[in-house]
Structure 1
Amino acid sequence: MKIRILFYLIGLFFLGLGATLTIKANLGAGAWDALNVGLSHAFGLTVGSWVIIIGIIMMFLNAIIVNGKPNFLALVTILLIGFSVDFWLTVVMKNVVFEQFFHQVISLLSGIVLISIGVAMYLQTKFPANPIDQFMLALNKRFRLNFMVAKTIGEISALILALIMQGPIGIGTILITFLIGPIIQWMNTPIAKGYESLIKR
């Protein structure tokens, strides 16, 4: 159980840090993060608060997709991610600015990798998934799409909404939209093997 909880918390820790790095790179955030930033600028509240609000909306949408009931335990995951994002954005990296293009690229790529590792890690634990990732799982379950395709569909949907809300869209957004699914798919196998070996000890 300790390993399970550790994987869960570290995964969410990486996810929050990764999202913050992609936002701070200022080259275009991931579609969902761009949507949350756009909503924050348009209506107030912190980015993390919008992570929580959008997560709750997605929780009900996922239930509709799989013809089931909302997984209210996912609220724990939603809150932890929202608080994590706000912690990194408004406390740890509040005054961090990447002015050189090289540093922006490093921040963006590091963020993409950390998000992918974080998602792959915490999904191993079978704790309630972040509704954004649950959307990927719901599409996988309902339409038997692999993670890569399902995640990309979710990213493109969020991209359209982010454009409407005038979120920070750029080359980074495009890279994240089309790379995040394949990288999660690629990371999932070795992380799953590592998790299983630790659990069996």
Structure 2
Amino acid sequence: MFKSIQKFLIVAISMMLTGIGASLGIKAAVGVGAWDALSLSVSGVIDMKVGTFSMIMNISCVLLQLILLKKEFKINHIVQIFVAVLLGFVVNFMIYDVYSKFTIDSYWMNVLLLILSVIICAASISVIMAINLVTFPLESVCMIISKKINKNFGFIRQFVDVLSIAIALAVSFLFNESITVREGTVIAMILFGPLLNVFMKLMMPKLKSARLVE
């Protein structure tokens, strides 16, 4: 019981760190990941906080899982709603209450902020993946769809990214919003995978020694 509580707390903290990292990337304003770019573009058009819209999108992913799985929908899928709400609140708090208090005019400083954002996200997500208590709603629904239609998960996930970028760009051009898909999007795509692998190798032995991972 104690180990379960410990796992839950570590995952919750890691989720919050993920939100802090993601919002730092948004603050850098040199381009964000595909899913975040979609949230940022649409939330700007409908005048909604980006964390709130991201929360809605993630909860929609959970609802889609319910539709697809029906009776196979389990408690670990419901917990993803907590993930969606927590991430949304953290992103809103960091962007509108913390990061809004300072401005960085240097382009290269903003690029460094983006890189720091990717590092924070990779480190925190590696812990979440290693403990494997709960997954992110988007990744979970992509996995379910890949199994339902017998397609590779990577293909489905990449398709969602391409679709998200296309919609984000369309929204930006149609409504004269700031373009959220930029060089930072490419930088994040290049850095995230390798960094995630590095942190997985670093975190796994520590988590195993603490008996949080088998």
TM-score normalized with structure 1 length: 0.83
SS at match of 2:180: coil
Deviates more, 1:76-85 or 1:4-13: 4-13
Name the CA shift for 1:192/1:94 in 2 (closer, same or farther; >3 Å): same
Letter in 2 for 1:84: V
Q: How many residues align?
A: 199
SS in 2 for 1:93: helix
Q: 1:144 to 1:104 in 2, by over 3 A?
A: same
Deviation sequence 1:69-105 (CA, Å, 0-9, x none):
3722210111011111111111111122221122111
Q: Which amino acid aligns with 1:96?
A: F
Backbone CA RMSD of aligned residues: 2.8
Residue 183 of structure 2, aligned match among 171, 180, 190: 171
Q: Which runs of 5+ in 1 are unaligned?
A: none
2:205 corresponds to which letter in structure 1?
Answer: K
- Mapping of residues 34-45 of structure 1, within 5 Å: 34-45=37-48
Q: Note closer, same or farther for the CA distance 1:200–1:49 as it changes in structure 2 (3 Å cut).
A: closer
Post-superposition shift, 1:129? 1.8
Deviation at 1:138, TM superposition (A): 4.3
> Which residue number in structure 1 is paired with residue 52 of structure 2?
49
Which residue number corresponds to residue 156 of structure 1? 162
- Identity of counterpart residues, as a percentage? 21
- Once residues 25 and 158 of structure 1 are traced to their aligned partners in structure 2, the CA distance between those partners, rounded to angstroms, is 20
The equivalent residue for 1:4 is 7
1:31 corresponds to 2:34: yes
**Cα separation, partners in 2 of 1:197 and 1:160, compared to 1, 3 Å:** farther
Maintained 8 Å contact 2:17/2:124: yes
How many Å apart are 1:107 and its aligned residue? Answer: 0.2
98, 101, 106: which one aligns with 1:92: 98
Match of 2:196 among 159, 184, 189: 184
Q: CA deviation at 1:40?
A: 1.2
Shift of 1:56: 1.6
Distance 2:189 2:125 in 1: 15
Larger mean Cα displacement after TM superposition, 50-59 or 107-116: 50-59
Closer, same or farther: CA 127–152 of 1 in aligned 2, 3 Å: same
**Cross-structure match for 2:73:** 69
- Structure 1 counterpart of 2:203, which letter? I
Aligned to 1:129: 135
Post-superposition offset of 1:14: 1.5
Q: CA deviation at 1:137?
A: 4.7
The alpha-carbon deviation at position 62 of structure 1 amounts to: 4.6
Please give the alpha-carbon distance, in whole angstroms, between the structure 1 residues aligned to 2:143 and 2:198: 16
Unaligned runs of 5+ in 2: 173-178
Q: 1:145 to 1:106 in 2, by over 3 A?
A: same
CA contact (8 A) 1:51 1:82 kept: yes
Q: Which has the larger radius of gyration?
A: 2
